[in-house]
Structure 1
């Protein structure tokens, strides 16, 4: 079954997704088509909160296909949590990393780990950490010195987003152990809406 949620105002995409899944039997698949970041994030969060496994596929023209297979009952939700306003407002900053270290020299990896760890101590956490280029190695290598710092940030509610093209280039897609795969459109959208910290 495919659900077209393009050009819909929030929280309508989540309402339609919830209704569609409730009409399925366990094991039946649902595909949801969206074309903006807010519904993509809200539907993803809804599915995660309902313990439904799902995948995201980026299509042309900024569209995303979300696939999920119904597994278990769907519980009631507070639709106020899925408004566009929550996603579109600027709740803070994003950290943009394109290397798995900061600066040059052997101290770089350890220094970046300390910086990331320090964000656990500040009152206002960043909204997300965006990882591109070889920074994606930090979310795929459990032995990397910054792996724990990123995991701690994720556990604190910070979104950890690794560039999908970069993971593919390094052949690390199946090694992703923290956060989610992102794409150029989502990175560009977040960088345009949030103040950015580059380490």
Structure 2
């Protein structure tokens, strides 16, 4: 049974302070879930988990509602200092036009793409937006191996947008599992306004 900390309505550093107190009180392996209502809290709780070397998951569960889950396998002593960093999103846009990375063997390409999206989720400055189009649409739908990483980023404020025409073409619209549906005009606008674009 997980320990739940309700930090809804609390601004930084309060959610981090509440999480640290809960971590210090855990004496046996357990799951700690912190509920918050802003992306900055998700980012700072994720950094707290990393500093304690704890596996962490973050997910957007509703409008302005997020869940951050830490897996605690042994007693933890978080550092005394509580630092709340500013929003970690930069002006980077990632454009994903395929469910494979590079040209060649499909199995390898899919594995590389999964690794790439995980690596993006661990960047010090997260992208502002990740766009998915053509067969890249498969990556935001049920069955994708990257859903957990994408949900983790979405919970920290990264915009996950998938081309609606592409979802229709591949008959995937009903299985979209993360982010929102967009159109080609909005994709063009987002790319044009980006400070930097990466296309894997």
Coarse TM-score class (shorter-chain normalised): 0.5 to 0.7
Contact 2:4–2:32 (Cα < 8 Å) also in 1: yes
Q: What is residue 51 of structure 1 aligned with on the other side?
A: 53
| Structure 1 moving runs of 4+ over 6 Å | 153-156, 160-163
Q: Secondary structure at the match of 2:40?
A: helix
Give the TM-score taking structure 1 as reference length: 0.57
Correspondence for 2:143 among 171, 184, 187: 171
Matches of residues 179-190 of structure 1 in structure 2 within 5 Å?
A: 181-183=152-154, 186-188=157-159
Matched, 1:76 2:83: no
Aligned equivalents of 1:97, 1:27: Cα separation in 2: 40
Contact 2:66 2:155 survives alignment (8 Å):
no
Alignment-derived partner of residue 29 in structure 1? 31
Aligned-residue CA RMSD in angstroms? Answer: 4.3
* Residue among 38, 41, 44 paired with 1:42: 44
C-alpha deviation, 1:158, in angstroms: 4.6
CA contact (8 A) 1:25 1:70 kept: no
Q: How many residue pairs end up in the alignment?
A: 153
Q: 2:93, 2:197 within 8 Å by CA — same for their partners in 1? A: yes
TM-score, normalised to structure 2, is: 0.56
Using a 3 Å threshold, how does the CA distance of structure 1 residues 50 and 179 change in structure 2: closer, same or farther? farther
**Match status 1:197 vs 2:196:** yes
What is the aligned partner in structure 2 of residue 114 from structure 1? none
Please state whether the residue corresponding to 1:15 is helix, strand or coil. helix
The alignment partner of 2:63 has SS state of: helix
Q: 1:96 aligns with which of 94, 97, 104?
A: 94
**Secondary structure in 1 matching 2:35:** strand
In the alignment, structure 1 segments of 5+ residues that lack a partner are: 102-107, 111-136
1-structure distance, mates of 2:122, 2:158: 21
Structure 2: gaps spanning 5 or more residues: 132-136, 161-189
1:4 equivalent among 3, 6, 21? 6
